[in-house]
Amino acid sequence: MASIVVVGTQWGDEGKGKVVDLYAEDADVIARFQGGSNAGHTIVVNGETTILHLIPSGILHDHKICIIGNGVVLDPLILVNEIDALKNRGLFPMHTKLFVSENAHVIMPYHRRVDVARESHGKGKKIGTTGKGIGPAYEDKVARVGIRIGELLDKDLFQEKLKRNVEEKNFYLTKFFKESPVDGNEIYDEYLTYADRLREYIADTSLIINQEIKKGKKILFEGAQGTHLDIDHGTFPFVTSSNTVAGNACCGTGVGPTVINAVIGVCKAYTTRVGGGPFPTEATCEISDRLQEVGQEFGATTGRKRRCAWMDTALVKQSVRLSGITGLALTKLDVLTGIEKLKICVGYKTPEGKKFTESVPSSQKLLEQCQPIYEEMNGWTEDISKARQMEELPENTKRYIERLEQLTGCKMVLVSVGAGRKETIVLKNPFKFK
């Protein structure tokens, strides 16, 4: 038996979809533990691209159990459309089962309306949300007024809770934002159709996972976003609305911490972020544009252009500490090919000369004032996409990887040299950690 957690070490978009897809081949159960449809995991198999927003990346493998855990906030329309799209493309394997936690909270139309209204009416800097209602849905969960997907199966209970919530949200929308109200009756009818479509998938997923663990099965816990978008440990307030660190794999699926054997941190060979927020290593226009173009850095969910920067090992080092990461999966290394001089951020310093090398300042104001401390390394020009062993990489590429290991204090277990599933150097199988 082995259970591993896969998390992002930066601000999301690190390539977790590809890593989970690779490890899913050895896993029996793949469980998503947080976030919502604001996540977008991109997988390329045999040149064909698949983008998943809610369903775990392991869905492309046959004879698996895929779980959407209780820590996820769920837009049922997006889930239904995703299931249909996979089946229409022949990508929902016959012997793979999908289950949705009966305790997962549902994103309602009023959540999306509130999300968009806040961004459009807000003054000053915007958070840069996707407008999909993720934050407001988590707010209702914490306020104990949210509606769980299992409750959609009880028409009377659903109607009772919906009526109260619509009354409150319409007051907020109309009186505070001067927006039009939502129609509770329309929502009720619409969501009952989703309940019928999803009924076969709704289950006690905590029980399912723990039963599989007792059988000695291998479990892969899949996170969304990245460590520095964590609601507690990220660059607040420019964060997501859930805990993205590895510890939430237990809370978000209903398992105990003693079952976790390893934590894999996915780390892009450079750094990107979407939306607002401080970004100390944000590169010059020339380098940023090159990384964006070669790396195709557009949000999988929103299509927004990602801000691009040099590798920030201070950021990754903190992620290693926060999630207890046992191995790093380095992605998009091929994007750096052809850059003569590469920079690595090893820490920050303030205008007053104070240095941060072991942690990222929690103060947004202070982090915005920080300047990166860089090391410079020679780049490489050779095509690395055909490499399947470390020995096949150019010397400068190997030096870059070794320096990242030294600075983060964590060894690589995987190096991705291209977008495809096969364009990967696997150094260690996490399911065989001891």
Considering the four listed CATH numbers 1.10.300.10, 3.40.718.10, 1.20.1050.10, 1.10.150.120, the one that applies to the domain covering 105-197 is 1.10.300.10
Three-state DSSP at 45 gives: strand
Q: Would you please indicate which residues are annotated as catalytic (active-site) residues? A: 13, 41
Which pLDDT belongs to residue 283?
67
Q: How far apart are CA 202 and CA 241, in angstroms?
A: 24
Q: What does the block give as tokens for 132?
A: 């999909």
Residue 114 predicted with pLDDT over 60 = yes
C-alpha closest to that of 204 among 103, 126, 108, 129: 103
Contacts of 281 (CB under 8 A, 6+ apart): 271, 309, 310, 311, 312, 343, 345, 372
Question: Is 70 exceeded by the pLDDT of residue 433?
Answer: no
Contact 134, 107 (CB under 8 A): yes
Percent of the chain with pLDDT over 70: 95
Q: How far is CA 308 from CA 203, 266, 272, 398, in A?
A: 41, 17, 4, 23
Q: Does the pLDDT value for residue 17 go beyond 90?
A: no
Phi, psi for residue 32 in degrees, rounded to 5? -85, 130
What tokens were used for 189? 């009818």
| Residue (of 95, 28, 83, 87) closest to 53 by Cα position | 83
Integer Cα distance of 126 and 241 in angstroms: 15
Closest alpha carbon to 411 in 338, 320, 334: 320
How far apart are alpha carbons 169 and 60 in whole angstroms? 38
- Give the pLDDT score at 21: 87
The pLDDT tens digits for 341-379 are 999 999 999 988 889 888 899 998 999 999 999 999 999
Given a cut of 80, whether residue 103 has pLDDT beyond it is yes
Band of residue 48 on the pLDDT scale cut at 50, 70, 90: confident
CA distance 263 to 265: 6
Q: What is the CA radius of gyration of the chain?
A: 22
Query: What's the pLDDT at 1?
Result: 61
Tell me the C-alpha distance between 263 and 118, whole Å: 36
The mean-pLDDT minimum among 30-44, 144-158, 185-199 falls in 30-44
φ, ψ for residue 424 (rounded to 5)? Answer: -150, 140
Could you read off the pLDDT of 243-268 as tens digits, one per residue? 999 999 999 999 999 999 999 999 99
Q: Do domains 3-101+202-263 and 105-197 have the same CATH topology?
A: no
Q: What is the mean pLDDT of residues 201-222?
A: 97
Distance of CA 141 to the CA centre of its chain: 20
Mean pLDDT score across all residues of the chain:
92
Specify the 3-state DSSP secondary structure of 97.
strand
Which alpha helices (DSSP H) does 382-434 contain, by range? 395-408
Question: 157 near 164, Cβ under 8 Å?
Answer: no
Q: Where are the domains of the chain?
A: 3-101+202-263, 105-197, 266-432
Tens digit of pLDDT for each residue in 286-341? Answer: 888 899 989 888 866 667 788 899 999 999 999 999 999 999 999 999 999 999 99
CATH of domain 3-101+202-263: 3.40.440.10
Window from 1-5, 18-22, 45-49 with minimum mean pLDDT: 45-49
| Domain at 266-432: CATH architecture | Alpha-Beta Complex (3.90)
pTM confidence score: 0.93
CA 351, distance to chain mean position in Å, is 33
